[in-house]
Amino acid sequence: MSGFKEFLLRGNVVDMAVGIVVGAAFGTVVTAFVKDLLTPFIAAVVKAPDFSAMSFTLHNSKFMIGHFINELISFILIASAVYFVVVIPVNKLIAMTQGPAAPTIKQCPECMSDIPINAKRCPHCTSVLS
């Protein structure tokens, strides 16, 4: 029983659980944003708000192609909203906090060629570097 307790109290298990709960809550917010705001806006612009009536029947089986189209449009809108509202700003924020990357090359003082930062001898002119 103590092994199970240790497993549950590990940091990464708790972090994952919190991430799943927050992700689910965020998913409902994004879904509501798309269905309540974006979809009606697009329907007002395009003047075709609902495709759910589109269907066809084949051997007494009804295929609700319109419902699939609605869900596909909803998925594209949700993915776009997440990308433009979350992913792009977070990537910019991460880039601002990390600062510039450490240099990986330097110039040889003798021949001015680009060489690896840890090189002890220039591969171009074979001069010894300090």
pLDDT of 49: 62
Domain tally for the chain?
2
Are both 93 and 124 inside the same structural domain?
A: no
Which of these ranges, 42-51, 63-72, 95-104, 119-128, has the smallest mean pLDDT? 42-51
Are both 34 and 85 inside the same structural domain?
A: yes
- CA separation, residue 61 to residues 24, 57, 58, 70, 84 (Å): 34, 5, 5, 20, 40
Are both 87 and 65 inside the same structural domain?
A: yes
CA distance 92 to 10: 31
Are both 121 and 78 inside the same structural domain?
A: no
Confidence of residue 106 (pLDDT cuts 50, 70, 90): very high
pLDDT tens per residue, range 54-88: 788 899 998 888 888 878 877 887 788 778 888 89
Range of the domain at 125: 102-130
CATH code, domain with 67: 1.10.1200.120
Percent over 70 (pLDDT), the chain: 92
Are both 17 and 40 inside the same structural domain?
A: yes
